[in-house]
A and B are shown apart, each in its own frame.
Chain A
Amino acid sequence: MSASLTEASNAPRKKERFQIKNKYKLFLMAFPFLVLGFIFSYLPLFGWVYAFYDFRPGIPLSKSEFIGFHWFTAMFSNEVQRDEMIRVLRNTFAISSLGILTSVLPVIFAILLTEVRNSKFKRMVQTLTTLPNFISWVLVYSFAFMLFSVDNGFLNNLLMSLGLIDTPTNILASSNNTWLAMTLWGVWKGLGWGAIMYIAAITGIDPELYEAAKVDGASRFHQIWHVTVPGIIPTFFVLLILSIANFINNGMEQYFVFANAMNMANIEVLDLYVYNVGFTGSNFGFATAVSIMKSIVSLFLLFLANGLSKAVRGETII
């Protein structure tokens, strides 16, 4: 530090002539990130052209047949096809809505966790709840299969030996409560991880506020309600808006591994549908067309959420 200081003070004046103006300098600093953004977010949009071709892997686009909006109209070409799209969208919206409803759970969990006094216990709980986030969905499924399979599944064996049921039930191949079940798996996996952000936010709250509250005679619950909660609400809202923008993107691995014929009608979200049609059915054009529609809906939702936030809280993120 001191070395560079002396060096700097020794620096002759003429150097200033070679210095780049500040605005360019800032631009150059931001430049790599702009480039990365361009490469990873805008360049792939070129892939949208596949929606207008009858593309088959291996054959260059220039030799593929141009079919215009065929795939787009095919999506809504008749009643059954429309019903399919509606079913898929309904699943997507239902599971995403449940996901957003449960997004308060990590907040509550984080608050409860910070209130725990025994730090050993606290750390153990945090580790155990964060761990599932690092388990891949494939492993989660094999775990679920072990627990719930009919032949030799843990749960069925337990219930049978306790005499609670006579015939094993097949939980994984059931069309009941698929949305709820999927949300619960998601919560189990993401609870601890989701809480980390809030724990950080809580740690960032000025301790003086708590002291002041204490002096004013606030109970522990009052402190939580009047100091902690307002302290993390901004974080919560930012994450909420982002999750609304991601409303339609509820991922696919989870649904892919849990899907089977029995629950397909309720589990097939947009991303899984795109995969099933695009990869399994080897129809990349159609899958791309569906994805484009998806992006447009996503964009719409983002602006909607942002507008709502502006109306309600007077703050926006865009």
Chain B
Amino acid sequence: MVKQKKWSALIAFVCLMLVFTTACSGNKDNSDGDKQTPESSKEVITDWSQEEEVTLNVFSTLANFTGEQPGWFAKVVKDKFNIKLNIIQGGLEGKLATQMASGDLGDLIVGMGGKDYTDAVKAGLLLDWTKNGMLDNYGKNMQKYAPDALEANKTQYGSGTAIYGIGHNVGTGDGPSEGATMTFGPYLRWDLYEELGRPEIKTMDDYLPVLKQMQEKQPTTESGKKVYAFSLWSDWDGDFATLPKVHAQLHGYSEGDGFNPGSLILVKADEPDIQPMLDDNSYYMKGLKFYFDANQMGLLDPDSLTQTFGDVSTKFKDGQVLFAQFPWLTTTYNTPENTADGKGFALVPFQEQQIYSSGFNPYGGGWIWSIGSKTKHPERVMAFLDWMYSPEGVMEGFNGPKGLAWDLDADGKPMLTELGQNAMYNGDTAVPDEYGGGIWNDGAGNFGKLNNTTLSTSQINPDNGEPYDFRSWTSELTRDPDPVTKSWREAMGVLTDKEWFVKNDQVAVTKAFFNGQPPADEPSDIKLKRSQVGKTIKEYSWKMMFAKDEAEFDKLKQELVKKAQGLGYDDVINWQTEQTKNTVFTLYDK
């Protein structure tokens, strides 16, 4: 009896201890995290490679990658700053919200803009660069090459005193800010298009019969897989289906005005014109009709709805797709091997096309670079970011370290090395170990896997008088082109896509807008309505594209409009339109 009591008392005691130990252990981390240990209040450090190695958590809302930055870009950053970059893919659903709620966004934050950005500033999650002379000591390049962008951030988000970040794609000048290629296409398999005698294409709808003929010419790939004209994916969809929306960009419109949150209105790049997305004649609806027609003709990959971007990318690589909406889709197919055989994608514009283009923006775009307020290495993060805003940083971040893929010729002009001529067009090219090893694609990207820009790459590099984008280098434009490019250049009479659009005056360029105010706050009821309307649009869009016949297409369209209106579509449109009219459209008032 006694024994039993003793044991039970012991158990009770152990249980009790368990409770208190679990209850007490939670808080320890926090108190540590709050304390900032600034690396120096001492002197300004210029050579970071001598400092101890640190790993920075890079929260990138634009990254398509998770984990430690690999390849040559990792080596560059390690050699210069003794930094390892741990990339956190912030674009995943709910990831940003979770991270925000935890109160720590990491050391470097890439591409977070809009509402999330203002919230993060409000919540004190971002570091103020004006404190402790951070910007003056470690931000020399930004002050030199992007002073307006710093100033803009200060007035827009920092109440005129604090600076919490810097916009992307900073540049000055007229005309399109894109490099040799624009952001959109359309691209066709040039070899097949040429075999057909390059039929004239006036409107988007004219692509369909041409593509049908192309498909008949090449019904299967070499490996025996079925060839489609279009292969779409749904995993990038927000408030609408992403790929039909590209129709708008091919006609000079874009979702939103580029300044306010406005995902359901299509706004013209260079005129005060707005198309609500579900208007009968909006380019979004036309896009849906286009893919519906394509599906009726057997041109649309039936897996479009269920597959992800990765699957589509593989299909492009295998040559299963004939039409590309974006230039970067074509790179997996346009390898040196394929183009040497005369097979490859090239721009085939239509006569009525007016391509949407972002103009140079000295204030910087909305994919803002910022630094987390809880970082333990503010100086080093700042120095690293500042380097990315320098000519040297842009050059190396995009084209690799000097001597690997590019070098300067006798006149001091940049040119691709032999390795570069391969690597730039075929990402699987091996990289020597002294530059980090692996393959080119490991390190390639926009600053590796960070996937954001700093200074516009079509700006002229003051160090050598050529743009940063290698496709626009004189050496590259005059280099003996591959058969596909050669044939395309002869047919079009220009050297690059951009040149063609500019020459034919088929480009709609946005103007930079800045009024010192942050973009409008989306009120809670609009937010709810927008998300529910968006969900409905997305769902019905896919149903419409894959509708059995015209009658079903029309029926679904009516259902969509009715349901969207019931969920508050009109209120959302009115609110978004009003914001655009009050801000960006004032540019046209004068």
Binding site for B on A (CB under 8 A): 4-5, 7-9, 11, 15-16, 19-20, 25, 28-29, 31-32, 35, 54, 56-60, 63, 65, 67, 70-71, 74, 78-81, 83-84, 145, 149-152, 168, 170, 172-173, 260-262, 264-265, 276-277, 279-286
Contact = CB atoms under 8 A, between A and B. Distances in A.
Contact of B2 (A8, A78, A151, A281): A8
Nearest to A20: B9
Contact of B566 (A57, A67, A78): A78
B3 A172 contact: no
Interface in B543-590: 543, 546, 562-563, 565-567
A286 B303 CA distance: 33
Contact of B119 (A58, A79, A81, A261): A58
A57 B3 contact: no
- Which of A59, A170, A277 gathers the greatest number of chain B CB atoms within 10 Å? A59
Interface string B301-329: 11101110000000000001000000000
Nearest to A282: B97
B306 A279 contact: no
Interface stretch (B179-187, B480-488, B501-509, B525-533): B525-533
Given A25-B9, A58-B101, A285 B532 contact: no
Contacts of A150: 301-303
Given A31-B12, A78-B566, A281-B535, 7 more contacts: A9-B2, A32-B18, A54-B524, A57-B96, A57-B100, A80-B566, A151-B301
Which 3 residue pairs across A and B have the least CB separation, nearest first? A80-B566, A281-B531, A261-B542
A280 B538 CA distance: 12
B102 to A, nearest CB: 9
B350 to A, nearest CB: 28
Given A4-B3, A261-B541, A262-B543, A57 B101 contact: yes
A73 to B, nearest CB: 11
A11 B2 CA distance: 8
Contacts of A265: 539
A58 B528 contact: no
Contact of B528 (A19, A262, A264, A286): A286
B6 interface: yes
B534 interface: yes
Given A67-B524, A279-B93, A8 B3 contact: yes
Interface stretch (B120-128, B418-426, B467-475, B511-519): B120-128
B124 to A, nearest CB: 9
B535 A173 contact: no
8 contacts: A15-B6, A31-B19, A56-B119, A58-B125, A80-B563, A261-B538, A261-B543, A277-B531
B531 to A, nearest CB: 3
Nearest to A279: B94
